[in-house]
């Protein structure tokens, strides 16, 4: 698949500098650029590569001004990284134009399948399921009874969507994602054992949500677990029953949100963040790696670190103190020894 610089500039609504007829058919990193490829520059620390890169076409931010001649044709855009993402998504969709239902798939008679859908071998679609247009379902996926899937959804290998769940338009679930498995609900009994609480709710995932490999979103005990539009979830993330994740929140790998917690909009979770159950997390909250959150966060747009979570500025000051504890301990022991010596001397002189 080959495109000219002019076609790409028009698609991205960018400004073209250089040869508009140059053609590219692949992508490359700017430090490894090759003729016939498109690259990008968004981080200033990589600026020096642009003068030696062999890439034929390079996306740059509008405020970029070269210090010397650049061999490549440039396209200036508002945000080079975002433009690259838009372009990669476009190319990916062009390449993935498979349609049709494999004879090796099992489709229930009552299932409703939209137009231009691809269903791979060994997919199971249960009764009363609705699948929208332009959906791609890879091999070994399982779609439960009464599930509704919107248009443009991509399900990679081995995705499981359990009964009654609702998936919005343009979502992508990577290999091994499980949507709608039972929430972790068990009631203690008088003899010390636990009785399972049936999980009768579902999961609702709104549009433009992406979920990484082997992540899980549990169905609600009652009602719905809800992932709002634009949420991005990394690999190996656990979202428990009756949780609600606000719009455009980003959750990195190995994080977990316990049951019935409500997370606001535009939050950021770094890796291995743990959120306790039945909490409210304010909009715009940012949690550094391995932060533990045992209490609700009420003030929006604050950054936190540590366990229990404290404002990041306090955490950094505390870290300096913690690092110096062995030396401080020696000082305290030395001071205590001197105080003891002074007390003994005073007692002798009395």
241 tagged catalytic: yes
Q: Which helix (H) or strand (E) holds 286?
A: strand 286-287
Cα–Cα dist 197/165, whole Å? 19
DSSP of 176-228:
T-EEEEPP--EEE-TTS-EEEPP---EEEE-SS-EE-TT-EEEPPSSSEEEE-
Which among 209, 114, 109, 230 has a CA at the least distance from the CA of 165?
Answer: 209
Query: Which tokens sit at 334?
Result: 């030395």
Q: In a 10 Å sphere around its CB, with 0-12 CB exposed, 13-18 middle and 19+ buried, how is residue 64 labelled? A: middle
What is the Cα Rg of the chain in Å? Answer: 28
Cα–Cα dist 243/255, whole Å? 14
Which among 133, 137, 129 has a CA at the least distance from the CA of 175?
Answer: 137
The DSSP secondary-structure symbol of 121 reads T
User: How big is the chain, counted in residues?
Assistant: 350
Write down the catalytic residue from 140, 174, 241, 280: 241
Q: How many CB atoms lie within 10 A of CB 20?
A: 15
Query: Which tokens sit at 283?
Result: 């909009």
Cβ atoms of 96 and 17 within 8 Å: the answer is no
Cβ atoms of 147 and 126 within 8 Å: the answer is yes
Catalytic residues: 241
């Amino acid at each position: 698949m080959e495109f000219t610089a002019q076609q790409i500039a028009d698609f991205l609504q960018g400004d073209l500098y250089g040869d508009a007829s140059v053609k590219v058919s692949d992508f490359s990193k700017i430090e490894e650029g090759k003729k016939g490829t498109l690259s990008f520059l968004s981080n200033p620390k990589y600026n020096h590569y642009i003068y030696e890169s062999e890439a034929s076409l390079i996306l740059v931010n509008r405020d970029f001004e070269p210090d010397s001649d650049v061999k490549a044709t440039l396209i200036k855009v508002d945000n080079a990284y975002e433009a690259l993402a838009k372009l990669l998504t476009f190319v990916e969709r062009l390449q993935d134009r498979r349609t049709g239902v494999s004879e090796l798939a099992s489709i229930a008679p009552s299932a409703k399948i939209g137009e231009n859908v691809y269903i791979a071998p060994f997919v199971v679609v249960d009764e009363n399921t609705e699948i929208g247009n332009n959906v791609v379902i890879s091999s070994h996926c399982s779609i439960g009874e009464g599930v509704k899937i919107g248009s443009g959804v991509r399900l990679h290998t081995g995705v499981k969507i359990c009964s009654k769940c609702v998936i919005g338009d343009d979502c992508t679930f990577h290999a091994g994602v499980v949507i709608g498995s039972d929430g972790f609900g068990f009631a203690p009994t008088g003899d010390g054992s636990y009785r399972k609480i049936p999980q009768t709710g579902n999961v609702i995932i709104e549009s433009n949500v992406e979920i990484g490999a082997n992540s899980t979103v549990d169905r609600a005990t009652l009602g719905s677990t809800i992932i709002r539009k634009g949420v991005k979830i990394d690999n190996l993330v656990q979202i428990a029953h009756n949780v609600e994740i606000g719009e455009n929140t980003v959750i990195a790998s190995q994080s977990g949100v316990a049951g019935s917690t409500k997370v606001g909009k535009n939050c950021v979770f770094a890796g291995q963040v743990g959120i306790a159950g039945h909490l409210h997390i304010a909009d715009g909250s940012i949690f550094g790696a391995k932060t533990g959150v045992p209490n609700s966060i009420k003030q929006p747009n604050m950054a936190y670190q540590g366990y229990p979570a404290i404002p990041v500025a306090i955490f950094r000051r505390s870290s300096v103190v913690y690092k110096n504890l062995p030396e401080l301990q020696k000082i305290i022991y030395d001071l205590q020894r001197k105080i003891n010596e002074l007390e003994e001397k005073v007692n002798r002189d009395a």
